Amino acid sequence: MPIRLYMDQHVPRAVTTGLRLRGVDVLTAFEDGASQLDDVALLDRASELGRVLFSQDDDLLAEASKRQRLGRHFTGLIYAHQLRISIGQCISDIELIARAAEPSDLTDRVEFLPL
């Protein structure tokens, strides 16, 4: 079963568009009406939907790390620092994860890009 993604509100539209053009299942926080949620609620929302969250927000990275320490469940986070990866590389790496991984591979984990 391929990974289904949830994009936070700060992800460039080009990343979402590029992934969709490659057939990756992507839902944005904006499309879901969740673009105003704080980081805790956004990670919860992605988990409720069974989607792995992609973010370039350091605060979401901190929240995921906190959950790992406390043993609190989340469906996973893919994180890329905005200045350390191009849009093209981001799309390629996320597509690879979405196609090659199983949802359980990312449960309660943070995957850092670039790969």
| pLDDT value of position 114 | 97
Residue-wise pLDDT for 24-36, tens only, equals: 999 999 999 999 9
Segments forming the whole domain that contains residue 26: 5-113
Q: How many CB atoms lie within 10 A of CB 73?
A: 9
**Domain tally, the chain:** 1
Helix (H) and strand (E) counts in the chain: 5, 5
Residue-wise pLDDT for 97-106, tens only, equals: 999 999 999 9
- The answer to whether residues 44 and 72 touch, using CB atoms and an 8 Å cutoff, is no
Residue 1 scores a pLDDT above 80: no
Residue-wise pLDDT for 2-51, tens only, equals: 899 999 998 999 999 999 999 999 999 999 999 999 999 999 999 999 99
Residue-wise pLDDT for 50-85, tens only, equals: 999 999 999 999 999 999 999 999 999 999 998 899
| pLDDT value of position 82 | 87
| pLDDT value of position 99 | 95
Mean pLDDT of the chain: 96
Task: Kindly give the interhelix angle for 39-48 and 58-70, rounded to the nearest 10 degrees.
Answer: 70
